A = this chain, B = another copy of it.
């Protein structure tokens, strides 16, 4: 299997590095419009074609699959052309700028019988997979809430606000962990850093309500002096703290909880507290992007559908669209 990478800016180099190391595939070409980056590619991968236009890779006969790591606004057009050109496609998150574009790509991939995968890297991390295992094994019980904090002194982007930059991570993790349909999304934010009409939200709070009452909430912030990447997952049997920055023990499971019971004789409601052991299971430390890239290669080779397929990508874009609408309507509840 031969692969090309379109876009060699922030994330493209990581994709190229992984695909260059996977034995089952061959990195054939990389495209970027910036001459300096092309020079870097040539120095780093002397045997790989470095070209200015992604279209050259779409048209190439010696390429089976394309990884697209360009600005979001270009995802749809490039992926569409690639699928029409009978290439398998891996797209950076978020999949597209609109949900209808994602739906089109899903249909097209189906038609062309090609793999369409979105790079929701976190879903491949050992920590998130471990939490999913715990949920599937029934160890956590019923999920009550998912509270994520994703803040740091972030890199402002010209064409994105903090919602589109950071929420895809949590939306993809939530979609993977919570087997429920979101029924309401709301978001508020602030855009204190602004200039000449450019005023992207750099702080946002997003609430997602699920069918069964589970409450999701994100704190996204580009203006925090401290870096936090932490989610609390409250459930009826256990409560999980997932700290992405704690490399040794990213997942901690607390046997803590509260139960309301009725004291029949005295006809009162009693609240019982449970505070037991905590444990931090060993999690697979393999780099998540390596696993994602390998899974893409494996799906292309076997025809298997990836975990983070087009539908997973669509779900994230739908949440982003709804949150963006709510943000513009000052927090009014929205959902596609």
Q: Which residues of A contact B (CB under 8 A)?
A: 46-47, 142, 144-145, 147, 149, 151, 153, 156, 158, 184, 186, 188-190, 192-196, 198, 202-203, 205, 207, 209, 213-215, 217, 219, 221-227, 232, 234, 236, 239, 241, 248-249, 252, 254-262, 269, 271, 273, 275-282, 330-331, 333
Contact = CB atoms under 8 A, between A and B. Distances in A.
A43 to B, nearest CB: 9
From A47, A192, A281, residue with most partner B Cβ within 10 Å: A192
17 contacts: A46-B47, A147-B221, A153-B256, A158-B269, A189-B215, A190-B215, A192-B236, A193-B258, A195-B262, A202-B258, A203-B215, A203-B234, A205-B217, A217-B219, A225-B239, A277-B281, A279-B280
Contacts of A241: 225-226
Nearest to A149: B149
B193 A225 contact: no
A208 to B, nearest CB: 10
A271 B225 contact: no
A277 B280 contact: yes
Contacts of A209: 188
A144 B227 contact: no
Contacts of A282: 255, 275-277
Copies in the complex: 4
B279 A277 contact: yes
A329 to B, nearest CB: 10
A278 B280 contact: yes
Contact of A271 (B156, B186, B196): B156
Contact of A225 (B203, B254, B260): B254
From A189, A215, A225, A249, residue with most partner B Cβ within 10 Å: A225
Nearest to A274: B153
A220 to B, nearest CB: 11
A259 B151 CA distance: 18
Nearest to A195: B260
A251 B63 CA distance: 50
A169 B234 CA distance: 23
Contact of A153 (B142, B149, B221, B275): B275
A242 to B, nearest CB: 12
Nearest to A255: B282
Given A145-B190, A239-B223, A277-B279, A261 B195 contact: yes
Contact of A203 (B144, B156, B203, B279): B144
A193 B275 contact: no
Contact of A188 (B192, B207, B226, B255): B207
Nearest to A194: B260
From A142, A194, A279, residue with most partner B Cβ within 10 Å: A279
A262 B198 CA distance: 11
Contact of A258 (B151, B156, B257, B279): B156
- The 3 tightest CB contacts between A and B, nearest first, are A225-B254, A279-B279, A195-B260
A259 B193 contact: yes
Given A195-B262, A203-B215, A278 B276 contact: no
Contacts of A156: 258, 260, 271
